[in-house]
Structure 1
Amino acid sequence: MLGVPEMVVPQRRRGTNLPKMGDFNQAVILDSIRRSEEGLSRVELAASAGLAAQTVSNICRRLLDAELIMEAGKETSGPGKPRTILRLNPQGMYAIGIHIDPALTSYALLDAVGTVLVSIDEPTDLCSTPEQAVAAMGAQIRQIIAESGIPEQRVAGVGVATPGPVDASSGTVVDPPHMTGWNRVPLRDLLRESTGLPVVMDKDVTASAVAELWAGADASATDFVFVYIGTGIGAGLVLNDEVVRGASGNVGEIGHIITDPDGPPCDCGRRGCVKVTCMPETLVAQARALGGLPALAEGAVQSLPEDMAALAEAASAGNTAAQDVLAQSARRLAAAVSVLTNLLDVDRVVFGGPFWPALAPTYLAQMPALLTHLSVTDSVHSVDVVGTIVNSGEEAFGAACLVMENAFSPKAAQLLLDSKI
């Protein structure tokens, strides 16, 4: 057509021109706009989403009226009328995230483009009852909103990331291994009551996988495993550019994959599981037993994050005992991760979580070769090993991204037609 040059647009999720698909189509448009750093025109949106130009125009008008997107200037790319570029409006929506780890609870306030406006960390309260602890979390969230000065009606909700296992359908935390007393805690409902806001709850590993997508990971990385290293270790899964959650929301419980058949006994009755060979507290205990690390000497009272930092610092300084502990953990965890990469045929492994920075130098140096050796598809494709693009200390970013995913990402469920039609 004269005046309209040929365009190359990324092929993401496509919309549908069937009736009653407005919500899905709107999510497709929002998702396309947020994925483009430079913004997109209506013509480009129609091409990438496979929607009629009028459908795209109507959706964009609604989004502009709601101030979720904004016009960001004109662009001329050839003969014809200049195109108006559309981008997300940073102030159009906000989300709050809360990440609960047995050692640390983190909060983050994000705007619509993912900028962290507020970040707060505090020790996790495991002495109070879960109900009291969650009430305090709710109060902290209310304080963050009040002090930020943002319009409360623009807060889309609260995302909460918690250790598993969880009952996703009821928003319940089901007896996490390192949080004594948190058995069948209705976290989602308690937090909704204490904040007065919609709440989305997910496992910490799943939230981390969502964050990796939301933060702008390599567009080619549509299939990957996210290995989360916190007080516990789990895995998030992304296939075909979508986060996989499983039947009950508990994808990634890898604690009982055997990494060393001759390793220490596990409470499951077997030996050498991830749970007893690779977790940070295990590594600290091993280093302490070897001696020669003053910061980890018997009687030295520190938190687990401080202990892991001391172990990493000792290894970096050339302490062979510390280096051996971390190298052994890399070999063991590679054995577990290779089970996932071989089973799922992914070509990327992303490591992250609160304790990842302490392990990153050793793992990034040793893990690629280990996974290549253990891969059954190494003659077909390699397996990239990378660290998360989410900044260390911003695990609550992933929790807030759960809200953004819920608001922006197209969901197959939206395509299900009413059975009465």
Structure 2
Amino acid sequence: MGEVMGGPGVSEDAMVVLRGWAGGGGPLAVRARVVLLAADGLRDAEISRRLGVSRQTVGTWRHRWQSAGLTGLEQRPRTGRPATVDEAEVVARALLAPGGSGASRAVARELGLSHATVAAIRRRWGLGAAGAVPTRPPLPGADVWVMGLYADGRRAVLLAGTRPVSAPPAAVATVIGEDVLTGLADGLEAVRTAAAPAAPPPAAPDLAAYLAEAAAHHPDIALHAITLWDTAPQPPSTARVTEHRLPANATWRSFLRAVIALDSTSHPESSRRVYLDLIAALGRGARPVRWLRESVAGHLRPPHRAEPPAPSSSGVNQIDLGSFNECVVIESVRLSGTITRGEIAHRTGLTQQSVSRIARSLLDRGVLVEESQRRATSGKPRTPVRLCGAAAHALGLHIDPEVLTAVVIDLDGAIVCTRTRPVSADIDPGEFVAQVVALGREALDRARGAVREDGFLGIGVAVPGPVDIASGTVLGPPLLSAWNDLPLLYLLKDHFPCPVIIEKDSLAAAAGERWIGRDRRARDFAYLYLGTGVGSGLYLNGDLYRGVSANAGEFGQLCAITLGRTGPDGRPEMVPECNPPVSVPEFAARRGLRTGAGSRTITGTGSTAAYRAVGRAAAAGDPAAVAAIRAVAEAVGRGALGLVDLLDIDLIVLGGPFFTDDTAGYYLDEIGRVVNEFPTARRLRRVEVERSVLSAEAAAVGAASTIFHATFTPRLRGRDRR
């Protein structure tokens, strides 16, 4: 065959080996030629024709090359059941394969096993049927959580948890990925091969202490210590933790991959973030490794069975939209306010017949209502339609370091009721969740008469970032240290049997701005949320931009870098200007502003009250107050300048609880000046800086709007959060 100069996915060293095999004889020559021709871009059918082999053969060797390289080509097909099968490797491959539970044949082909063998292994591990993880002795049930890992070079113990009560099987979700599984196995291998003292100790007090700590940390979960390897004497038994060995047909590496894949596939809260934390613990160099994940006891217990609040939170069947085009029609009506069917067809490109059919369906379900007829210059009068605000409602919850806010809004964005409750930043997490639940139930109870029984769509929750959206976990926002790694979403789901969406507060505010702003916000914009901290929410290309981890918009970091404020280690500092309720009173006090009551400075009244006092002073013309607000606004404007230059946008929206009437003019003027005087492309565009259409409850209203956004906004790539 002709000379092959390389191709995608084939290194030069591999090319040398492949050419050598291709020039020889036997099965290796055919396999090498398949890969070389594939590297030249030939399709399977053409390779099959040239080499005189079946397309199935071509597909088999291409797949083996992609999954195992040269080693995969050296493996020969095996007939019948092999003498030894690594069952854990079968499980891991099955869960990683596209389609999850439907990938048995692909796994069998890849590993050279029969389909019946793979199916039997899947049954034993509980993939798609009731089973048990086959350790020695077996784990009680296949619903397994990875709760911790201990490793000290001589031994490694994987800590698993099982549900204390039976539970319905979870829907199969996307696993964490091959890269994370490989990183975990490689990290543990580095621990295993690290140098250790020649003489092992007679006992393992560190492991015993770790197991006791784990039992105290997870008191409501059945814990199982699975020994991955052990070259030292066994530790004394721990009453609360049962001991297990690996299954006979599995290596520690494949078993680790399988159990983690099993966990992450069955439990959305076992996300990439959890296992990236474990990889970090393995890589820190500290020995022994003693990793425990956050407690998941709150959502392992049977769900709370209290009577559901009124209105019913079971969702709406008649508002369950059946097509992308229905969402397109609703979006057109929402942006216009009132619009005729002909205008909808003109704006959307849909046919008149399609628009009429969809409009009839939405009118029947109460999503749209008709207005009075318009006289036409020719033909019959036209009847415009609009959204029916009462057709759907949602509850929005905003969690702030100082106050909890709950609002119920209708489909038009009108607030039905609002409830607030002060909260302390150091409150116990259990009490905090109870207060959130109580406030949400109070708001729903107050809205009882206005909300249709079948028109409640769900609950949106706005929280300070960073947040792990996949597991619904608040990861320790800077001003809420007591809420570190709080699995808020799943704790709330125990109390509210309805759809619950968790979102960063700044992104939620941007969603509300887009939904309620209608045609005024039908373009790209950045929302600057002035709360207890300044955050940004981005609306780009017709949708919220959340980023890979749904944590886009960390505005404080951008401000610090723009202002050149970094610590000795190079880490961006927490810029005080990005916390207006604290920085504005402090700056005003430095300039001599006082409360007027003796010599007491403005900072003595608490951050929110002090901020509002400075705002009132600025509105009255006090130069110290005005200078303080302008200093903070100028710093925020520098961060906004970075957004304008990076994204090439021409609209900045300002809102949030500390964008008050007294201070709004200073923020608008100063930020508007910065983002228009300094951008690189300032000759090509004028950046508008506008007030938010939302009230001070912007994040709570935005949180409720995320429910409408997820239900009604047309998005071709689906409605998942990533």
What residue number does 2:405 align with? 106
Pairing partner for 1:383 from 668, 681, 687: 687
Residue 266 of structure 1 deviates from its aligned partner by 5.5
Indicate yes or no: 2:347 matched with 1:43: no
Note closer, same or farther for the CA distance 1:220–1:403 as it changes in structure 2 (3 Å cut): closer
Note closer, same or farther for the CA distance 1:330–1:262 as it changes in structure 2 (3 Å cut): closer
The separation in 2 between residues aligned to 1:290 and 1:83, in whole angstroms, is: 63
Aligned partner of 1:115: which letter? Answer: A
Pairing partner for 1:156 from 457, 464, 472: 457
Indicate yes or no: 2:422 matched with 1:118: no
What residue number does 1:86 align with? 385
Q: How does 1:163-242 map to 2 (within 5 A)?
A: 163-216=464-517, 218-219=519-520, 222-242=523-543
What residue number does 1:354 align with? 657
- Is the 8 Å Cα contact of residues 234 and 252 (structure 1) preserved in structure 2? yes
Note closer, same or farther for the CA distance 1:403–1:415 as it changes in structure 2 (3 Å cut): closer
The separation in 2 between residues aligned to 1:125 and 1:350, in whole angstroms, is: 29
What residue number does 1:15 align with? none
- Is the 8 Å Cα contact of residues 24 and 415 (structure 1) preserved in structure 2? no
- Report the 3-state secondary structure (helix = DSSP H, G, I; strand = E; otherwise coil) of the residue aligned with 2:575: helix
Residue 282 of structure 1 deviates from its aligned partner by 2.4
What residue number does 1:330 align with? 633
The separation in 2 between residues aligned to 1:106 and 1:179, in whole angstroms, is: 16
- CA deviation vs aligned residue, 1:25-64 (integer Å, no higher than 9, x gap): 1111111112222x22322222222223333233223222
Aligned partner of 1:120: which letter? Answer: R
Calculate the TM-score normalised by the size of structure 1: 0.85
- Once the two structures are overlaid, the 10-residue window that deviates more, 47-56 or 348-357, is 47-56
- Once the two structures are overlaid, the 10-residue window that deviates more, 173-182 or 253-262, is 253-262
Note closer, same or farther for the CA distance 1:299–1:336 as it changes in structure 2 (3 Å cut): closer
Residue 142 of structure 1 deviates from its aligned partner by 2.1
Note closer, same or farther for the CA distance 1:268–1:324 as it changes in structure 2 (3 Å cut): farther
Aligned partner of 2:415: which letter? Answer: V
Note closer, same or farther for the CA distance 1:46–1:231 as it changes in structure 2 (3 Å cut): same
Note closer, same or farther for the CA distance 1:326–1:342 as it changes in structure 2 (3 Å cut): same
Indicate yes or no: 2:670 matched with 1:366: yes
Q: How does 1:287-366 map to 2 (within 5 A)?
A: 287-294=588-595, 297=600, 301-357=604-660, 358-366=662-670
- Once the two structures are overlaid, the 10-residue window that deviates more, 375-384 or 56-65, is 56-65
Note closer, same or farther for the CA distance 1:329–1:175 as it changes in structure 2 (3 Å cut): same
Larger Rg computed on CA atoms: 2
- Report the 3-state secondary structure (helix = DSSP H, G, I; strand = E; otherwise coil) of the residue aligned with 1:82: coil
Aligned partner of 2:688: which letter? Answer: D
- CA deviation vs aligned residue, 1:332-358 (integer Å, no higher than 9, x gap): 222111111011100111111111115
Residue 118 of structure 1 deviates from its aligned partner by 0.3
- CA deviation vs aligned residue, 1:374-419 (integer Å, no higher than 9, x gap): 1111111111111212123454211111111112111222399xxx
- CA deviation vs aligned residue, 1:137-177 (integer Å, no higher than 9, x gap): 22222232223223343111111111111112222211111
Indicate yes or no: 2:590 matched with 1:286: no
- Is the 8 Å Cα contact of residues 98 and 161 (structure 1) preserved in structure 2? yes
Residue 227 of structure 1 deviates from its aligned partner by 0.9
Note closer, same or farther for the CA distance 1:319–1:263 as it changes in structure 2 (3 Å cut): farther
Residue 198 of structure 1 deviates from its aligned partner by 1.2
What residue number does 2:325 align with? 25
Matched residues, number: 394
- Is the 8 Å Cα contact of residues 226 and 236 (structure 1) preserved in structure 2? yes
**Identical counterparts, % of pairs:** 33
Residue 270 of structure 1 deviates from its aligned partner by 4.9
| Runs (5+) with no aligned partner, structure 2 | 1-320
The separation in 1 between residues aligned to 2:357 and 2:569, in whole angstroms, is: 57
Indicate yes or no: 2:693 matched with 1:392: no
Note closer, same or farther for the CA distance 1:388–1:22 as it changes in structure 2 (3 Å cut): same
What residue number does 2:125 align with? none
Q: CA RMSD in A?
A: 2.7
- Report the 3-state secondary structure (helix = DSSP H, G, I; strand = E; otherwise coil) of the residue aligned with 2:371: strand
- Is the 8 Å Cα contact of residues 131 and 190 (structure 1) preserved in structure 2? no
- Report the 3-state secondary structure (helix = DSSP H, G, I; strand = E; otherwise coil) of the residue aligned with 1:91: helix
| Runs (5+) with no aligned partner, structure 1 | 1-20, 417-421
> Between Structure 1 and Structure 2, which shows a larger proportion of strand residues?
1
- Is the 8 Å Cα contact of residues 530 and 655 (structure 2) preserved in structure 1? yes
- CA deviation vs aligned residue, 1:219-269 (integer Å, no higher than 9, x gap): 475121111111111111122332211111111102123558888765975
What residue number does 2:433 align with? 134
- Once the two structures are overlaid, the 10-residue window that deviates more, 388-397 or 99-108, is 388-397
Aligned partner of 2:362: which letter? Answer: L
Calculate the TM-score normalised by the size of structure 2: 0.51
- Report the 3-state secondary structure (helix = DSSP H, G, I; strand = E; otherwise coil) of the residue aligned with 2:528: strand
- Once the two structures are overlaid, the 10-residue window that deviates more, 259-268 or 358-367, is 259-268
Residue 299 of structure 1 deviates from its aligned partner by 9.1
Residue 65 of structure 1 deviates from its aligned partner by 2.4
What residue number does 1:14 align with? none
Note closer, same or farther for the CA distance 1:130–1:267 as it changes in structure 2 (3 Å cut): farther
- Is the 8 Å Cα contact of residues 34 and 87 (structure 1) preserved in structure 2? yes
- Is the 8 Å Cα contact of residues 259 and 277 (structure 1) preserved in structure 2? no
